[in-house]
Chain A
Amino acid sequence: MDKQQRIKYWRENLRYLAILLLIWFLVSYGFGILLVDELNTIRLGGFKLGFWFAQQGSIYVFVALIFIYVRLMNKLDKKYKVNE
């Protein structure tokens, strides 16, 4: 793998990280903490939405984020032929 390729691979990786971590921040610190009072005016069945994000929703998103990252990186590794 030449230097150009390495840099490109790393940049794409960082882009994925930035997007996924933004979502990570949004669902926990955003929806579950900073915006909790605003979201609590919206209902999701028997849950207030902000409360739901703090005690349920954020955790589901966390799990999904890791598996999405695994998929994205497996594809990226193949594209740059650094997969094993």
Chain B
Amino acid sequence: MGIQTWTFIIVGITFALYIGIAIWSRAGSTKEFYVAGGGVSPLANGLATAADWMSAASFLGMAGIIAFSGYDGSVYLMGWTGGYVLLALLLAPYLRKFGKFTVPDFIGDRYYSNVARTVAVVAALFVSFTYVAGQMRGVGVVFSRFLDVEVNTGVYIGMAVVLFYAFLGGMKGITYTQVAQYCVLIFAFMVPAIFISIMATGNPIPQLGFGSAGEDGVYLLDKLDGLMTDLGFTAYTDGTKSTTDIFFITAALMLGTAGLPHVIIRFFTVPKVRDARKSAGYALLFIAILYTTAPAIAVFARTNLMETVEDKPYAEIPSWFTKWEETGLIAWTDKNGDGKIQYLPGTAIEGKKPLFEVGRGASGERLISNASSSSNELYVDRDITVLANPEIAGLPNWIIALVAAGGLAAALSTAAGLLLVISTSISHDLIKKQFAKDISDKKELLIARLSAVLAVIVAGYFGINPPGFVASVVALAFGLAASSFFPAIVMGIFSKRMNREGAITGMIAGLGITTYYIARFKLGWIGNPETSGADNWWFGISPEGFGTVGMLVNFAVALAISSFTPKPPEAVQQIVEDIRIPSGAGEAMDH
């Protein structure tokens, strides 16, 4: 059977599975809709959190980013895993003990203030919308690549599927679909990785394989470093970013991870405090399986690429190369007219994507109109690293189809988790808590469902008409989460003295300075664009890493302001006492 047929079969089966689970796990109350009834086992919650966390970007993009940035890619590996240690030790158990539905619930009650709650809701909505816009686009792109439909059609199909189980099941439906989605995506990621590791080094464990030697007895990493430095690239195991920048980016990603509402909210779904701790452990374990395999794939892919193409005649190139050239994800221009591919440092093209012309060059390659003046002749889209792997390894068609299903599972599970945060923020934190305090549970559930529909439509709109800032989504979402939620929640638990005035001014200061910095140096919305380059960064910190500074500002402002404003009331200090003791967590409850 062909790849296309296999893809339809496997994607069809997985979708039927997700929809079946959604029908089986319909939500009957707001408690089921918001926190899956608070009865999810730590293991299931760990699986669901892992799927929720790992987006299409993790599944398809990360290995590629690492392959093309070497050591610098470590910021994502450490940054997107280390945050779970903070979550497990500093946040999850206490928030579970607190026992409400949302992050703004905690902020609002702990800081006895509707203003604090509103700041938290706005931040939660902003973070989730920036994040979900990228996800819906990702869903569309994955569909279009594998099922051969338009990107927009892909977004519509994705919207319909997510809507179905988010509308019916809320958190309950999403949780159990995510468990299934994790299984699909990890299987799809590991099978090609294991085969490629065996091919490259004879070791079936990719994590060990990329530290082993190939057939020629040379360690793979040494070989790759050698190949790269010979051609003038920086060695793979050395970075090009400054140590300061690596430090700050890693910290911003960790703190942001621990502060993202769609991650935190998952720990409200387990029955007990000890389950919250344990399930953070499971979540990180399941995430680590993919995150420790990705750098191995990156090394195999980069080595393979360098060996296969550099200084080789185009006429003798393997067929996967020309196949991806047809899709526009690889482009080659014979700048020096020798018929061979020169793969050197520097960008091969002007702009971001190659612009193809009609007609073929002397060697049969597709012609492009925007070749750059550098001597590098090869353009490779990083995303093909994972996608092309099975083909490069010569694996059967059904495995290639499996990768498609895995990519879709990753994109859908993350989108669904974010949409739930958005709908909960609207129905619970805004409508129930601010405007209609005495609505019945049934009515609130209906509003939650309608908010989910609204959230899907808005997210779909952004997926089809992506705003210009989608590329900066990572910097933005993580920076804002790191500079607002993380400090506010940590101080709410670990400092009895922290009061309303301190927390609110801290959050606003942290959010404000981070937003300003990103708008100034990443988006170019404020100030002179000519001075927004890396030379003008404060302390050499890139916008991606500035969330760390925002967090420090938040802490500093909050501590300063709270020291000369009144103590929190007795009842609030009692809340803090209570959340520090695990027993008697009861179920996540309404109030």
A interface with B by C-beta (< 8 Å): 1, 6, 9-10, 13, 17, 20-21, 24, 28-29, 32-34, 36, 40, 44-48, 51-52, 54-56, 58-60, 62-63, 65-67, 69-70, 73-74, 77, 81-84
Contacts and interface: CB of A to CB of B under 8 A. Distances in A.
B436 to A, nearest CB: 35
A1 B237 CA distance: 54
A70 B281 contact: yes
A47 B296 CA distance: 12
29 contacts: A17-B89, A20-B85, A29-B250, A45-B211, A45-B212, A46-B211, A48-B237, A51-B71, A51-B221, A55-B74, A58-B77, A58-B78, A59-B81, A59-B292, A60-B292, A62-B288, A63-B281, A63-B285, A66-B88, A66-B281, A73-B274, A73-B277, A74-B274, A77-B582, A77-B583, A82-B581, A84-B273, A84-B582, A84-B583
B90 A17 contact: yes
A66 B273 contact: no
A11 B329 CA distance: 56
Interface residues of B, number: 49
Given A33-B250, A66-B284, A46 B219 contact: yes
Contacts of B89: 17, 20-21, 65-66, 69
A47 B85 contact: no
Nearest to A44: B211
Contact of A56 (B88, B93, B207, B272): B207
Contacts of A70: 88, 274, 277-278, 281
Interface in B249-288: 250-251, 272-274, 277-278, 280-281, 284-285, 288
Interface string B68-104: 0001011001100110110011100100000000000
B551 interface: no
Interface in B216-252: 219-222, 237, 243, 246-247, 250-251
Contacts of B585: 84
Contacts of B311: none
A49 B250 CA distance: 19
A54 B581 contact: no
B580 interface: yes
B291 interface: yes
A62 B292 contact: no
